[in-house]
């Protein structure tokens, strides 16, 4: 085990409201633009068939294609908001957890702790429904929601995030978002760090 001393070592709690705000911000930045482009393309395609129907109302296939385009637009946005609701429900089960973060010059580690600050274990993680999945394009939120430890179980290891081009730092009013591209993100509440530490986080974590 490395004896390297971290630049910052801190335990903190993330309120559910902050998780919700972060996921909305994440979707607005990474999901909404793609949804908008897809919606515009589908609307343009539907417009072509609308013109065809106006020119020749007997074209039944055109009606079906118009409905199909509209349905695809609705499903795209519905799934986006449905995922947000699913994530919120999953997070309710861990909203009292604490997190232990260690920042190093080239990486950071994050470890979930139970509300009393105890360790979680690998064997007792929540089932799949408590872990919203991504669709491979970074549209979801993948996080570890483990249960309380059993005495003979293996302790959960910290998640290590190596800084580089696939790690981006986004700053919002009350938190930093460390985003691992197309995988997941981690939150660092600003209130847990003083001004000097916040500057160190900005200058250390890749943007």
Tens of pLDDT along 83-121? Answer: 999 988 888 887 788 899 999 999 999 998 876 666 665
- 115 and 11 in contact (C-beta within 8 Å)? no
Instruction: Tell me the average pLDDT across 1-18.
Output: 87
The answer to whether residue 162 scores a pLDDT higher than 90 is: yes
Contacts of 43 (CB under 8 A, 6+ apart): 69, 73
> Is the pTM above the cut of 0.85?
no
Mean per-residue pLDDT of the chain: 83
Write the CA distances from 112 to 13, 27, 74, 147, 164, integer angstroms: 10, 24, 36, 10, 23
Confidence of residue 81 (pLDDT cuts 50, 70, 90): very high
Instruction: Tell me the average pLDDT across 7-11.
Output: 94
Instruction: Tell me the average pLDDT across 180-190.
Output: 91
- 168 and 204 in contact (C-beta within 8 Å)? no
Q: Is the dihedral of CA 124, 130, 136, 138 positive or negative?
A: negative
Take residue 92 and report the two structure tokens written for it.
Answer: 């309710």
Provide the pLDDT for residue 25. 94
- pLDDT tens-digit profile of 34-72? 999 999 999 999 999 999 888 888 888 999 999 999 999
Q: How far apart are CA 194 and CA 187, in angstroms?
A: 16
- 166 and 181 in contact (C-beta within 8 Å)? yes
């Amino acid at each position: 085990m490395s004896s390297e001393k971290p630049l910052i070592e801190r335990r903190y709690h993330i309120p559910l409201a902050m998780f919700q705000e972060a996921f909305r911000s994440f979707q607005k930045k990474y999901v909404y633009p793609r949804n908008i482009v897809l919606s515009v393309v589908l609307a343009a395609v539907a417009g072509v068939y609308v013109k065809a129907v106006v020119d020749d109302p007997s074209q039944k296939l055109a009606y079906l294609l118009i409905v199909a385009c509209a349905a695809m637009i609705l499903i795209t946005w519905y799934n986006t908001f449905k995922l947000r609701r699913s994530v919120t429900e999953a997070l309710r089960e861990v909203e009292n957890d604490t997190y232990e973060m260690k920042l190093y010059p080239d990486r950071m580690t994050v470890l979930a702790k139970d509300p009393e600050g105890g360790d979680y274990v690998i064997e007792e993680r929540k089932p799949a429904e408590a872990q919203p999945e991504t669709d491979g394009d970074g549209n979801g939120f993948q996080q570890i929601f483990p249960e309380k430890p059993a005495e003979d179980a293996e302790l959960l290891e910290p998640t290590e995030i190596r800084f580089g081009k696939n790690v981006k730092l986004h700053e919002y009013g009350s938190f930093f978002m460390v985003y691992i591209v197309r995988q997941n993100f981690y939150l660092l509440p600003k209130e847990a760090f003083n001004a000097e530490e916040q500057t160190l986080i900005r200058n250390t974590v890749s943007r």
